[in-house]
Structure 1
Amino acid sequence: MADYREFTLAAIQAAPVFFDRDASTEKACALIEQAAERGATVAAFGETWLPGYPSFANYPRDPQWGKLAARYITNAVEIPSPTTDKLCAAARKAGLDVVIGVVERDAVSQGTAYCTLLFIGREGVILGRHRKLKPTRVERIMWGEGDGSSLRVYQRDYGRLSGLNCWEHNMVLPGYALMAQGAQVHVAAWPGGTGARHHFLSQAFASQGACYVVCVSGIERPEDHSDASRALAGNWDGLSCIIDPWGNIIAGPAEGETILTATGNSEAIATAKVVCDVAGHYSRPDVLQLRVNRSPSRRLCEVENLEA
């Protein structure tokens, strides 16, 4: 007889040390340990949690904008790097999987950042990363665009793990690309509580994909900023929640800094997928198909030995 597996999902709702990569990394490692103490199997942070969401991008004419932008890219995270090494070590020590939103700096150009979800296994290794496909509104000033190479799920002992950032859940097709790969535990990362919309988009993903969703948001308040960035800060509470495969909220929404947990089990996933499997019996591939371009984007194509 097949055995069903239980697991504990954790949404880490907290403010980073804004635009300070090293201090935010230390805080993240401490929070990972706290999630482990709560029995977490997988713990998730909000969008670009490390080192913070660029709310100042809304004010490009402010005299402080240039300095803040330079600080932002300087404190972004390269993958891999000593920063990711510390996060991997924390995951290994805590014995849990971690999905954390980071501002990823392009290691070659040094001037482009990506809104990235970093997936780390409890073994202390990077499982993969996902770069946000389409930044929203003023985010396009700060972030480049991802490509289809990172629209993937990761096989773990509790199920297939996936994740998207914020309004990627509004794009529909990226979500289906993950559902078609059998996503079972999904991280929906948001910069902060945006009202009903981020809840119902996350609940829709859970219901359509017949999977658990950790809808995790960051926190940003002016008092979380210690310098010139305070005047340009956003005001986000978390309102994180955890959603079952039927679309029901089973933990949260929560306010303030907290670690929200809920127990999931593979039986609930199996039951929901039997009823509605949008990548299987509840699809019509003869009528509708999704094509995903897996090729990484290339900005330089070197050609040698061209004939004159």
Structure 2
Amino acid sequence: KAERLIAEGAARGSQLLVFPEAFIGGYPRGSSFGLVIGNRSLKGQEEFRKYHASAIDVPGPEVDRIAAAAAKYKVHLVMGVIERAGFTLYCTVLFFDSQGQFLGKHRKLMPTALERCIWGFGDGSTLPVYDTTIGHIGALICWENRMPLSRSALYAKGIELYCAPTADSRQSWQASMTHIAVEGGCFVLSANQFCRRKDYPPPPDYVFGGSDEEPSAETVVCAGGSVIISPSGTVLAGPNFEGEALISADLDFGEIVRAKFAFDVVGHYSRPEVLRLTVNDQQFDSVAFSSGTEAPKEKDGNNFDDVVSIILNEEIYSKSTKELSSGNALNVESRDRQKERSKSKSNEKSKSRDNISKSTGK
């Protein structure tokens, strides 16, 4: 289906195609995966096994296939997928250029509601804005677009084509997209799903929760609302609530300059000496193996480097449980500084002993 839509978009002359959230892998709307507080059902576990099997590896054969379609039709792609990383799933956006090069990905930072029990949390290492031949492209997924600090990170990277794959068809979403376009001085391209109950497996294999009764096969469970908005807040295409469709618009990049003449949120309309954002863009892994890192450099005859290290044992570093709790910053000295401080204390003790000896000798 993705390949068919890519071909259709290219035939219209589109240079960039944006797909909805979880377009490949599926958005499990209405499913609880058998979850209740303190337990999960066997049926729900089996449902997750199937969902895990439908996700894709990044990189992987499906990524290669999407890249080939981008190259074949000479279009840039922003594709919503469910990414499988071992046994953890992520709601992810993949970026491709018109040469078929896989540029990279963005993992959803903050899944919403029960999504948090199904998908992992992305980190700051996947907040990219790519400089392409058609402009600077980046994306946030669904409700993380309502996180002001996440948006600011993309604004600071010079985003021009702000992509917002989503699963939200409410009118309030349209207001959010208009606000972002004006706030960021960028074009906003939001792609949403349009689907009916019949697009999901039938009961009892798939029970549609969240409503008093099972929806009929023709019931619309997500009404679309894909939209393209200019930096001035003008709606250029959409929102489409009628069914599956491709919407398109011609973009005048001069609008970005005209909009930012009045309001540049990370430029002349900012106050960095008063308000400032710090983004941790490091990749975090739950387990790090020392053999996979470069050996520390020699310094002053000791195997220490300037890099700050945290060693949680009584000899090097000791803090209370409260100070080590999540969300509190640790002010940790470098090993060199720790060693110097320890040496200084030893010298002071030695001087004290000498003074005591001299005093005793008198």
TM-score band by shorter chain is 0.7 to 0.9
Whole-Å separation in 2 of the counterparts to 1:67 and 1:238: 29
8 Å contact kept, 1:46–1:192: no
Letter aligned with residue 5 of structure 2: L
Confirm or deny that 1:286 pairs with 2:265: no
Q: Which has the higher strand share?
A: 1
Q: How many residues align?
A: 276
Whole-Å separation in 2 of the counterparts to 1:298 and 1:230: 34
Give the TM-score normalised by structure 2.
0.73
8 Å contact kept, 2:156–2:266: yes
Structure number with higher relative contact order (C-alpha < 8 Å, ≥ 6 residues apart): 1
8 Å contact kept, 1:46–1:189: yes
Confirm or deny that 1:79 pairs with 2:66: no
Summarize deviations over 1:158-195 as a string: whole Å, max 9, x none.
Answer: 211110001111111000100011110111111241x1
**1:1-308 mapped onto 2 (5 Å cutoff):** 27-58=1-32, 60-61=34-35, 64-106=43-85, 110-193=86-169, 195-228=170-203, 230-232=206-208, 235-255=221-241, 256-303=243-290
Task: Tell me how far 1:45 sits from its aligned partner.
Answer: 0.6
Task: Tell me how far 1:230 sits from its aligned partner.
Answer: 4.6
Whole-Å separation in 2 of the counterparts to 1:230 and 1:192: 21
Whole-Å separation in 1 of the counterparts to 2:277 and 2:233: 24
Give the TM-score normalised by structure 1.
0.85
Summarize deviations over 1:208-250 as a string: whole Å, max 9, x none.
Answer: 1111011110123211124445532781111111101112211
Segments of 5+ residues of structure 1 without an aligned counterpart are 1-26
Letter aligned with residue 300 of structure 1: V
Whole-Å separation in 2 of the counterparts to 1:114 and 1:83: 16
Letter aligned with residue 100 of structure 1: M
Whole-Å separation in 2 of the counterparts to 1:232 and 1:64: 14
Task: Tell me how far 1:273 sits from its aligned partner.
Answer: 1.5
Task: Tell me how far 1:57 sits from its aligned partner.
Answer: 3.7
Whole-Å separation in 2 of the counterparts to 1:247 and 1:151: 24
Question: Counterpart in 2 of 1:16?
Answer: none
- What's the RMSD between the two structures over aligned residues? 1.9
Whole-Å separation in 1 of the counterparts to 2:247 and 2:179: 20
Whole-Å separation in 1 of the counterparts to 2:128 and 2:272: 20
Segments of 5+ residues of structure 2 without an aligned counterpart are 36-40, 210-219, 296-362
Whole-Å separation in 2 of the counterparts to 1:239 and 1:56: 19
